[in-house]
Amino acid sequence: MSLQGKTAIVTGSTSGIGQGIARALAEQGANVMLNGTSDPAKVEPFRKELADKYGVKVGYAQADVSDAAQVQAMVQRAATELGGVDILVNNAGIQHVAPIVEFPLDKWAQVLGTNLSSVFYGMQAALPHMLGKGWGRIVNIASAHGLVASVEKVAYVAAKHGVVGATKVAALETAGKGVTVNAICPGWVLTPLVQKQIDAIAKRENISNEEATKRLLREKQPSQQFVSIEEVAALTIYLCSDAAKQITGSAQSIDGGWTAQ
């Protein structure tokens, strides 16, 4: 599954799932443009580690992916500095939890901008590069919440359903042109985003973090185990490989049985 000589952009890749995907891509020989909103100095140790360990070019674009102009600039930087744009992983995401009647309007706009609009901006900017060379891979990190819903997550669920829909449209528009577009729909992965939800449950119910974790998994994920970052990264690598060249427009569940219920 070597991706030697390819160039990938991974949004939201300074922590969590995105960081794991960036590492896996570099391990397969791809040059990588990291992305986040952190100060470049904080990201430099990770950037340098990937470049040194895997012998690939690694850049960092400090860009707000909810801003179309910043996404365009990031894609252009990858093309200029790293040699092209072959792979785009739209991973950046945020969460806010509240009932619909109490959901702040600014949080609605923020979640939709970061989780959904960013996917459109990224695909719009990257696709001309891919179509121009007749090869490309787009992997949009959606969620189990792109397929089913949960209470108090109206913006997140709406955005992730939108990501799955946008993935299908892009796949149809690029079918037969050497470009595939797929979504990955993870269940609970123990990322900082999910840890915040565990902490909130523990505080609200006055229980230990261990019990809150069990409750979170028991409610949704029949396997009673977290999906690992490495598992999501491995599926991403597979979707980027030639073995998956006829997989396009799909929403790949990796959720311990969550959406089978």
| Residue 121 annotated as catalytic | no
Measure the CA–CA gap between 209 and 86, rounded to whole angstroms. 41
User: What is d(CA 14, CA 256) in angstroms, rounded to the nearest whole number?
Assistant: 26
* Burial environment of residue 259 by CB neighbours within 10 A (0 to 12, 13 to 18, 19 or more): middle
Half-sphere exposure of 187 (CA within 13 A, CB side): 21
Catalytic residue among 54, 121, 156, 238: 156
**Which residues sit opposite 181 in a β-bridge?**
138
The continuous run of DSSP H or E covering 202 comes out as helix 192-205
Q: For the chain, give me the number of helices (H) and strands (E)? A: 9, 7
Backbone angles phi, psi at 244, to 5 degrees: -110, 20
How many Å is the Cα radius of gyration of the chain?
18
Catalytic (active-site) positions: 156
